[in-house]
Structure 1
Amino acid sequence: MSDRFRVTVEHDDETETALFSDGECALSAGDATVRFNLGESASDDGPVAGDDPKRIVDLDAVPTDSTVRFEARGPSHGVDCILRRIDDAVVAWRNSCPHRPEVPLDPGTGAIVRGDDLVCHKHGAQFSGGEGTCTHGPCAGDALDAVAVAVDDDAVYLTDDRFESARVLGQ
């Protein structure tokens, strides 16, 4: 796992802090112990038995005039991503502006779409519809980080080898 997480447990007058990067972990302070597994998502119970873990959403749920947020999950962590429909095709990128990576293109209410372009709500950068290349703004020439997806049987599937599963965010 490339990401490390700082965990702090405070109990009464005692504080313990440690960095963890993977596996089952436990940290204690006084009478309190926190146990967790960095290889599992705490946000849901995972895919329902029989469901394809790479199935993201029905094609009809992906708008042409905005985006849908989803999390692409790798072996150790998830990545916030967005889907956008262009005719019967769907494109996906990391939900991050190249100018300021901490700024999401979709803050949770859908990204701004002007014509065929996605627009950064914070800086006004414009990204071409299908390619994700910045055509105007502070990161002109840079491109959004593409995430491979495919449409099959009226559903959108994650096909990017960097990730093992996906789930829609904010629903």
Structure 2
Amino acid sequence: MVEGTRIASVEDVPEVGSYLFTAEDAFTNEREVILVRCETEPGIEAWINNCTHENQRLDRGSGAAMRDGEIICPKHGSMFDSCSGECDNGEAAGTTLPGVEIAVEDDGVFLSDDNYTFLRVGGVEDDGGPDSTSHIGF
């Protein structure tokens, strides 16, 4: 029996795209996490939903863009391997997405990372304001 919180069924994770959920880290920060299909066991990996180059969400609520087993940053086009999280091109070249430990068992995907607590399916609830990539703060 896997220890951890059930996040989704394996069938919930699309063949292309991602499954988005929100978890709380050890410092009580809400973090978006994506589940993506992977060719290596256990067949699904979990990554923090941010490009390593710039604070850009990979999945903006309708699934991450993917091509040939790679997650594509929607802003600069950097591509991250869905199995390793590594990027070898674009602005994020040489970086790796931060991973979140999961377990897959009996058609279920479980959050098994002691540094995170599952909160809910879907993204972090924002204040309803516009998304901005500006470096100017108000």
Which TM-score tier does this pair reach, normalised by the shorter chain? 0.7 to 0.9
TM-aligned CA deviation for residue 85 of structure 1: 1.6
Matched, 1:164 2:117: yes
What residue is the counterpart of 1:118 in the other structure? Answer: 71
1:147 and 1:53 mapped to 2: Cα distance? 12
Question: 8 Å contact 1:84–1:90 — kept in the other structure?
Answer: yes
**Within 2, Cα distance between the matches of 1:96 and 1:64?**
20
Q: What code does the residue aligned with 2:85 have?
A: G
Give the number of the structure whose alpha-carbon radius of gyration is greater: 1
* 1:85 equivalent in alignment to 2:85: no
After superposition, the C-alpha distances for 1:117-146 in whole angstroms (9 at most, x for unaligned) are: 110011100111200101211110100010
Residue identity matched to 2:92 = C
On the 8 A contact 2:69/2:81 being kept in 1, the answer is: yes
Which ranges of 4 or more aligned residues in structure 1 deviate by more than 3 Å?
none
Q: Contact 1:69 / 1:168 at 8 angstroms: preserved in 2?
A: yes
Q: Which residue of 2 aligns with 1:65?
A: 16
TM-score (norm: length of structure 1): 0.64
Q: Give the TM-score, by structure 2 length.
A: 0.78
Greater relative contact order (CA < 8 Å, ≥ 6 in sequence): 2
Identity of aligned residues (%): 36
Please identify, of 108-117 and 86-95, the stretch whose mean Cα deviation from structure 2 is larger: 86-95
What corresponds to 1:95 in structure 2? 49
Residue 130, structure 1, aligned to residue 88, structure 2: no
**CA deviation after TM superposition for structure 1 residue 160, in Å:** 0.8
Q: Which residue does 2:103 correspond to in 1?
A: 150
Could you tell me how far 1:86 is from its partner in structure 2? 2.1
CA deviation vs aligned residue, 1:2-25 (integer Å, no higher than 9, x gap):
xxxxxxxxxxxxxxxxxxxxxxxx
How many residues get paired?
118
